[in-house]
């Protein structure tokens, strides 16, 4: 099938921009086939597919008139593998992203390696309909993989959101390593595994000096991965706060996996705003506070959105931050710009009369490889501030 794109979109597509938006096309035939896109003169532009997902309505995947078949995908997986050589050589890190969607030339799917197991995340139904071919192509590039799992991240009534796909099943939990620290992961429990691999650099900083001798508070702690990295990096105390009941057992499991007595570390199952009030009343002080909320959360009492409420997290942190302490401000909200996020944080500092210095800025790590034509793929924004 050949589809004409609007004149307004020709230039960006020619330059390699991979994401197709609704306004770029005249019509959207319901097809799962590969599509050739052409310009207003009918000349070939690129090959791709239509499939709506959390962003856009399809992806361009090739800029030459090549056949899209199993070997096309094997080649993409092999190139992605070669790009991550340094990770394979590093025996202290056994979990990382091995295929990053459009960053590796195929928008709509990502693959993460967890030890000897691979986990696919599918973002649209069209690509999912080519799943058998993609899995076969993947196995050719990764014959050493013991088993494959998948997460379905688009609305689908006929497939489970998480399942084992083929090969061996992983132990539960499966212990992976990152910078030599062990983390327990579960490859088949809902959409999340117990660790967010995109934060490996920040955990790395906590593990290798930044947390040494420090009292660390980890807000929105989930399974406590930042707390474990901090404790392994010499933190004198860690406190993890998360609303979810599961977080207590999951966090204790992470500490135990590293030979740290879970009882020696604090875990509070509660709302972060209630914890801020409690800690302030008690006169508690922390040297490092990590603020890594979900983009959006609704609980019984309130709605939290990174866009609207991040400043409140900063303001509430200040009374319990020791002089000269550090705030690690993080968000994975793709629709919030770097500048805007930074401004929200710094406005909150200014409004509180705090003196602040930006020390570090982190982006997605190398394994979350980006495409130069699609810089907005870099959704992770982390800022380290020292506050006096």
Residues within the interface to ligand SAH (CB under 6 A): 196, 199, 220-223, 225-226, 241-244, 247, 271-272, 292-294, 297, 299, 304
Complete DSSP assignment for 127-168: HHHTHHHHHHHHHHH-TT--EEEEEE-S--SSS-SEEEEEEP
Q: Which is nearer to ligand SAH, 59 or 226 (CB)?
A: 226
Minimum CB separation from ligand SAH for residue 206, in Å? 11
Minimum CB separation from ligand SAH for residue 316, in Å? 12
Q: Which is nearer to ligand SAH, 241 or 329 (CB)?
A: 241
Those residues with Cβ within 8 angstroms of residue 328's Cβ, 6 or more apart along the chain or in another chain? 202, 226, 288, 289, 290, 291, 292, 382, 383, 384
Minimum CB separation from ligand SAH for residue 296, in Å? 9
Q: Which is nearer to ligand SAH, 61 or 206 (CB)?
A: 206
Minimum CB separation from ligand SAH for residue 176, in Å? 14
Minimum CB separation from ligand SAH for residue 145, in Å? 25
Minimum CB separation from ligand SAH for residue 272, in Å? 4
Q: Which is nearer to ligand SAH, 100 or 221 (CB)?
A: 221
User: Sign (positive/negative) of CA torsion 122, 126, 130, 132?
Assistant: positive
Q: Which is nearer to ligand SAH, 97 or 130 (CB)?
A: 97
Q: Which is nearer to ligand SAH, 38 or 248 (CB)?
A: 248
The DSSP output letter for 282 is H
User: Sign (positive/negative) of CA torsion 308, 310, 314, 320?
Assistant: positive
Report d(CA 207, CA 232) in Å as an integer: 6
CB 148 within 8 A of CB 120: yes
Minimum CB separation from ligand SAH for residue 292, in Å? 4
Q: Which is nearer to ligand SAH, 102 or 178 (CB)?
A: 178
Q: Which is nearer to ligand SAH, 47 or 199 (CB)?
A: 199
Q: How far are the Cα atoms of 44, 67, 72, 208, 281 from residue 62, in angstroms, in the given order? A: 11, 9, 10, 41, 59
Parallel, antiparallel, or unpaired for β 266-269 and 237-242?
parallel
Minimum CB separation from ligand SAH for residue 99, in Å? 22
Complete DSSP assignment for 56-85: -SEEEEESS----SHHHHHHHHHHHHHHTH
Q: Which is nearer to ligand SAH, 129 or 305 (CB)?
A: 305
Minimum CB separation from ligand SAH for residue 241, in Å? 6
Which pair of structure tokens corresponds to residue 49? 């597919």
CB 147 within 8 A of CB 119: no
CA dihedral 268, 273, 276, 279 (to 10 degrees): -50
Provide the β-strand partners of residue 240.
218, 267
Can you tell me whether residue 321 is helix, strand or coil?
strand
Q: Which is nearer to ligand SAH, 130 or 200 (CB)?
A: 200
Report d(CA 94, CA 107) in Å as an integer: 24
Minimum CB separation from ligand SAH for residue 262, in Å? 17
Can you tell me whether residue 266 is helix, strand or coil?
strand
């Amino acid at each position: 099938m050949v589809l004409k794109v609007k004149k307004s979109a020709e230039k960006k597509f020619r330059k390699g921009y991979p994401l197709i938006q609704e306004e770029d096309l005249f019509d959207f035939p319901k097809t799962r086939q590969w599509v050739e896109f052409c310009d207003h003169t009918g000349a070939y532009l690129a090959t791709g597919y239509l499939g709506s997902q959390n962003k856009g309505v399809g992806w361009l995947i090739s800029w030459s008139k090549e056949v899209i078949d199993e070997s096309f995908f094997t080649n993409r997986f092999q190139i992605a593998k070669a790009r991550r050589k340094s990770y394979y050589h590093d025996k202290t890190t056994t979990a990382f992203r091995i295929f990053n969607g459009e960053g590796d030339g195929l928008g709509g799917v990502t693959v993460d390696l967890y030890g000897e197991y691979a986990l696919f995340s599918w973002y649209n139904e069209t690509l999912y309909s080519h799943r058998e071919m993609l899995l076969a192509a993947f196995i050719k590039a990764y014959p050493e993989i013991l088993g494959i799992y998948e997460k379905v991240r688009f609305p689908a009534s006929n497939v489970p959101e998480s399942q084992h796909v083929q090969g061996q099943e992983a132990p539960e939990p499966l212990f992976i390593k990152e910078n030599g620290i062990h983390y327990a992961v579960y490859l088949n429990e809902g959409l999340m595994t117990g660790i967010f691999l995109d934060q490996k650099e920040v955990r790395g900083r906590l593990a290798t000096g930044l947390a040494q001798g420090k009292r660390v508070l980890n807000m929105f702690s989930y399974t406590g991965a930042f707390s474990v990295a901090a404790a392994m990096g010499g933190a004198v105390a860690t406190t993890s706060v998360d609303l979810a009941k599961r977080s207590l057992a999951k966090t204790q499991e992470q500490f135990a996996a590293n030979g740290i007595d879970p009882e020696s570390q604090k875990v509070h199952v509660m709302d972060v705003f209630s914890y801020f009030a409690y800690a302030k009343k008690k006169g508690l002080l922390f040297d490092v506070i990590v603020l890594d909320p979900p983009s959006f959360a609704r609980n019984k009492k309130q709605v939290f959105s990174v866009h609207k409420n991040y400043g409140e997290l900063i303001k509430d942190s200040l009374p319990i931050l020791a002089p000269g302490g550090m705030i690690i401000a993080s968000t994975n909200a793709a629709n919030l710009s770097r500048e805007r996020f930074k401004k929200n944080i710094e406005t909150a500092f200014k409004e509180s009369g705090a003196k602040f210095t930006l020390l570090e800025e982190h982006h997605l790590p190398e394994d979350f490889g980006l495409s130069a034509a699609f810089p907005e793929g870099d959704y992770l924004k982390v800022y380290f501030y020292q506050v006096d």
